[in-house]
Amino acid sequence: MLTAVAVSGYRSLRDVVVPLHGLDVVTGANGSGKSSLYRSLRLLAGCGRGDVIGTLAREGGLQSALWAGPATLGGARDRGHAVQGTRRKGPISLQLGFASDDFGYLVDLGLPQQASGVDAGSASAFLRDPEIKREVVWSGPVMRPGSVLVRRRWGVVETRATSGSDDDWDAGWGGSEGEDESEWESDPVEAPGSRTGSRAAYRDPAPSGGPGARSAGGSRRGRPGWTELTRSLRPWESMLTELADPERAPELLRVRRMMRGWRFYDGFRADAGAPARTPQVGTRTPVLADDGRDLAAALQTIREQGDRALDHAVADAFDGAILDSTVEGGRFDVALHQPGMLRPLSGAELSDGTLRYLLLVAALLTPDPPPLMVLNEPETSLHPQLLPPLARLIRAAAERSQVMVVSHSRALVDELGVVDLDDDDDQDDTRVGLGSPARGITLAKDLGETFVQGQGLLTTPAWSWGTRR
């Protein structure tokens, strides 16, 4: 289970660490950063799928996604000074990460080196594409030198050796938080004569006889205590997708599988042309697609599992209605039988709210529960009478999966029985994990920066970003 999500440099999330408990409900005013937190989680999941660069590019590129304020707001907050830009001490960076019961992971994204002069060669059309500068996988709740299992800097990826000294981390991989950030190392210079975008262009050659040099037999010698996996990982490739090997790096494989299992459901379409309204070719579907196109097949899969929860969820919301699926020529469609009606309603005839509720039913009653499910404003288009049965479905899903709900609805929050983190009177039940009480996370803004309301020095989860050096 995830215990914390950390984001630095993304939109209004200048530097925030959000604690997670099992069933978490994120609320806040419009513009407080709820959508940014949701999108940052999707970006993080993109590292496991291998599409984080493309996802970020579709958001407008790194420049449009970066924190737009100054590097620090201390002067404006403490002394009432006007907010103004300051000299940047570190590189342009967007950092995302999570901690869990087993492993933690972080990724550091930045801009490519802007070559000039004789080294520039032919100009690339992708110089504004973000690059992966650094990745780390560690064990335990916080990244520390002794807990790091796999680490990547630029194109070099190393995994911890089974024996040997391991404490050259500070010397070669970038130290502690107290060091001067103005000493950040610049991006590696492309090898002379190399073609832009080739693997050779991103090599980080080691000095003769130094760490990473080859032995007489041609094998790669890693740093003491570390085994080198590669020196030529390209900047748009994640080590999770390229190097997840069950023998050499089983930790990467486990982290990738976990992240690929995360599911996100955001604003199902319910217009006349919505995929869920059209009969679709169906196969056994344990996981609803994020656009709901396989709704009928997903509902039929749930029914054939023998679980009566589907019938209860529909009858609970629609006064004894019965849901069925029709199959004609291999194409599946929903059929909702309502009391007093002579024929069932097909997907094309359902109201927007009814269709969205059925989509949420299919997502929450999945026979294959994910490690994490995130619902963004599930109350959209639902009548208030549907919120109690929806809350019961969410609480039932939280018995099998970790769930995060981003919501504007006070009624849904109340139905979920949310305990506010900043309310000392509601801290009697401190259980966390699957089946624990719903916890409220309220986001607020100050001088354009998102923060977790009520979070202080002692209640902020421990987190370390490290550095690129």
Q: Please say whether the beta carbons of 27 and 440 come within 8 A.
A: yes
pTM score, whole prediction: 0.83
Please report which residue ranges of 112-204 form alpha helices under DSSP H. 169-172
Structure tokens given for 84: 């103004």
- What single-letter DSSP state applies at residue 202? G
Provide the residue-wise pLDDT of the chain in tens; the chain has 469 residues: 999 999 999 999 999 999 999 999 999 999 899 999 999 999 999 999 998 988 888 888 888 888 877 666 555 555 555 555 556 666 788 999 999 999 999 999 998 876 544 455 566 777 778 899 999 999 998 999 899 999 999 999 999 987 544 445 444 444 444 444 333 333 444 444 444 444 444 444 444 444 445 444 333 555 778 999 999 999 999 999 999 888 889 999 999 999 999 999 998 999 999 999 999 999 999 999 999 999 999 999 999 988 789 999 999 999 889 999 999 999 999 999 998 888 999 999 999 999 999 999 999 999 999 999 999 999 998 999 999 999 999 999 999 999 999 999 999 999 999 987 655 454 555 788 899 999 999 999 988 889 999 998 888 999 999 988 7
Radius of gyration over alpha carbons of the chain, in Å?
25
- What single-letter DSSP state applies at residue 142? S
Q: Please say whether the beta carbons of 93 and 110 come within 8 A.
A: yes
Strands 23-28 and 402-406: parallel
Structure tokens given for 445: 């803004």
